[in-house]
Every structure is written in structure tokens, then in C-alpha cells.
Structure 1
Amino acid sequence: MRIGVIGTGNIGGTLGRALARAGHEVKLGSRHPGETSDGPEVSDLSGALADADAVLLALPAGGLEDFLAEHSEELGGKLVIDATNRIGAPVANAAAQLATAAPTARYARAFNTLGWENFAEPVFDGVPADLFFSCRQADRAVVEELIIGVGLQPAYLGEDKQDLVDSLLPLWFALVQANGGNRHVALRVLRK
């Protein structure tokens, strides 16, 4: 799969490297395309979006509005996986902003409730952590493939459940604080 990762920081860079190791063709999109990477190619934002089957938004929330204004047409019809967290805003996800800017884009909410440390090392005592996500049923298999490619276990919450996914974010922060600031903590659903 061709994946455009928008953002080269801890989240975008770590996910981009993991997805490339899983065999996907990954381009990291940056406002500073001269950056070097120890993984996938770094291009400008349009270069990362061109020909992408899926787009992973991993940019700081402050850059989201400008990104959507400049690249809304390039997102049309694509699966857009929202890993941004608009901390302090009434809603953490960018579902409404994406729907307004690119109404034909297909929205998924994933990769936003764990720290990048869990994407770099997703296995705890031989068991992968769960990653909770929401998307249209028609896109579920694709999103699950990407989650598995990172080394995590997909935990599907249903369609239009981005707010439910977001509700796990304060829980993760509380677990980090309860563990003395250790960000390498995650959740696991036990199944029988």
C-alpha cells in the first residue's frame, strides 16, 4: 500500500518507519522537505499525498487548519487516518474539519491514544498492545492491516466512534502519570 504520512516528528516518523518495515511504500510529508530520515523518503506535503492510497495525519494540531486549507483537494476520495490530538479544543479529533475541507475523504481515527514509544516497541511481555480505532466498516480491513503492520493488535470500536476512541486519551495520560511518567504503557483487551 502507498501511504503518505503527514508529519515527521515522533509519531509520524516512528509510524512511517514501522509501516515501511511492514512492506508498505511510505513517503513522509514535511514543510521542510530537505530533512533527512533514517527511514522513508521525506518529501514536501504534496509529494507525500500524490498517489497515496492512505494518508496518516500525524502533524501538530496547530498546523492542521493550514494543512487542510492548502491540501483539501489532494485528500479527496482518500482514506485519511487521523492521529492528531487537538489538546485543549472541545473535540480532540479532526473529523469535522476534514469533512468540511474534503467531504469525499474517508475518515478513520487511530494512532492517537498511545505515545510514540508504543509504536516503536508495541509488544509487552510477548503480547502486542491493543490499538483502539474507528472507521467505516468498508475501510476496517485496511486500517487493521496498518495497525498490525506497526505491531499492534487492532481493537475496532465501530463506525463514527471517534469520540469514544478519544475518551481513551485521558485514560492513557492518567496511566502515564500513575507510572511515574513512563510513557511506554498501553491497554490490552483480554479475550476468551
Structure 2
Amino acid sequence: MSTAIIGVGAIGGTLARLLVDGGQRVVLASHDQSQAASLADKLGERAVAASVKNAIAQADVIVLAVRFDVLKELIADYADLLSGKVVVDPSNALEVDDKGNFTPLLPQGQSAGSVIAGLLPANVHYVKAFGTLPAELLASGANRTPQRAVLFYATDDEQAAAAAERLITAAGFDPVKAGGVRDAGRVEVFGDLHPFGGLDGRLVTTEEAHSAIAASK
């Protein structure tokens, strides 16, 4: 399956590098096409750049690595092209000030995942993934030895789960399902399964991840 990454900032750019290093081919797109083209050149022959429209059209799996407010607009603009695709959502509904402080954009108890899943066409295969670690930990935590670190994901869809597990493994992590879309908030910032939440800055192993999931039920 082919993978497009829309957005080449901290998360999208880091994920692109990890996937290419893991042997995956990626199509990169950004509102600034020159940024996507520059990153594709640096990553080599497994990465190509395209417009947002063309990247979505040609890929089976779409990673929407853009800010929460931009993501809502992007879905409205490209809903027809997203229809039937696997959509991977790394978003966190936050604003970050110049001191690194977070301000939530949604009421307490409402997750970015539940909002985004509700905006997508009904036949999209949706999964929350890759926003479950900050970009720095995503980069430094890949391919740890002797035990890989975990990346959580949340979905109600088997096809989306299979795609998420493939990409997470290729990126150098062990995939662990945290639950369905209703559990997406657990793997977002402030959630009990996020380093900027209940994990208190820690990466976890598969055994620790399953224990953490069970402890909160």
C-alpha cells in the first residue's frame, strides 16, 4: 500500500524520515510545495513530492500531519478524494505559545480524534496514530534496543488497524491498540497514555503498555 504524508513539519517530517529508513515509499505534500520537494530530495529515491490533491489521489493511506485547525479545513476541501482511504490522524487539539505551554482547543472530555473522525466521509478507514509522542521522542525513540518502544493507536476499523500496525512497525516501534475512537483522548496530549500526560515523559515497552491500558479501565 502506498502512503502519503500531508504536512512536513515536526511530526510529518520526522515520520517521513523514519518510514523511508524503514524501507517504505512515501509521497510528501505541503501547503508549501517547495518544503515537501526539499524533504523528498533529502530522503532519496523512496520519497517523492506532489501537490496535496495528487498525493491524496495516488495513495492508499493518508497521514494528515497538519495542525488541528488546518486539518478541519483540509478535510472539507478534500473530502471526496479521502473517500474510501485509510486516514491516519496525528492531531492534538492544542495551541502552543512561545514558551511551550499548551492551551486546549476543545472542551474537557472531547478528543481531537472524535471530532476528526466525525468530519471524515463515512467510508473512510480512520485511525488515531503518530501524535501519541512528541516529535523529539518520535525521532529518538525509534528502533530502541533491546526492547522497542511502543506507539499507541486507536481505531474501530480493522483495515485502519492493519495499516497503522504496518507503519508503526516500519517506523521502528511496537504497535499497541489503546482502544477505539472513543479512546482516542487517552493517546492525545494530557491523556493517560501520552508522555505529556499520564506517562510523565516516558516511553514504554509492550508489556508496560498493556499494563497501563488495563490499569485505567
Superposition TM-score, scaled by structure 1 size: 0.84
2:26 alignment partner in structure 1: 26
Matched position secondary structure for 1:143: helix
| Residue aligned with 2:75, SS | helix
Partner of 1:65: 72
Q: Which residue of 2 aligns with 1:168?
A: 192
Unmatched tracts of structure 1, length 5 or more? 180-184
> Which residue of structure 2 lines up, in the alignment, with residue 118 of structure 1?
137
Q: 1:154 aligned to 2:175?
A: yes
Deviations 1:104-155 (CA, angstroms, capped at 9, x unpaired): 2111011112111233231445321111111223432221111000000111
After superposition, the C-alpha distances for 1:35-80 in whole angstroms (9 at most, x for unaligned) are 2112232322112212211111111122112211111111101110
Distance of aligned partners of 1:42 and 1:92 in 2 relative to their CA distance in 1, 3 Å threshold: farther
Asked if the contact 1:99/1:105 (under 8 Å) is kept, the reply is: no
Looking at structure 1, the residues matched to 145 and 19 of structure 2 have their Cα atoms a distance apart, in angstroms, of 22
Give the share of equivalent positions with the same residue, in percent. Answer: 27
The letter of the residue matching 2:84 is G
Moved more, 25-34 or 120-129: 120-129
| Corresponding position: 1:190 with 2:211 | no
Give secondary structure in 2 for the equivalent of 1:4: strand
Q: Secondary structure at the match of 1:80?
A: strand
Is this contact kept in 2: 1:29–1:44, CA < 8 A?
Answer: yes
Q: Mapping of 1:32-43 within 5 angstroms?
A: 32-35=32-35, 36-37=38-39, 38-39=42-43, 40-43=47-50
Gaps of 5+ in 2: 95-103, 211-217
* Count of residue pairs the alignment pairs up: 185
* Correspondent of 2:118 among 89, 99, 112: 99
> What are the residue-to-residue correspondences of 1:49-88 with 2, within 5 Å?
49-87=56-94, 88=104
Q: Which amino acid aligns with 1:10?
A: A
Per the normalisation by structure 2, the TM-score is 0.75
Alignment partners' CA distance in 1, 2:18 and 2:58 = 20
CA contact (8 A) 1:137 1:158 kept: no
CA contact (8 A) 2:86 2:163 kept: no
Indicate the SS of the match to 2:32: coil
* 2:9 pairs with 1:9: yes
Which residue identity does 2:175 align to in structure 1? P
Tell me, what secondary structure is at the counterpart of 2:132? coil
Cα distance, 1:72–1:94 mapped onto 2, change above 3 Å: farther
2:150 paired residue number: 130
Which residue is 1:182 aligned to? none
SS for the counterpart of 2:196 is helix
Q: CA deviation at 1:20?
A: 2.2
Counterpart of 2:203 in 1: which secondary structure?
coil
Structure 1 residue 29, shift from structure 2 partner: 1.4
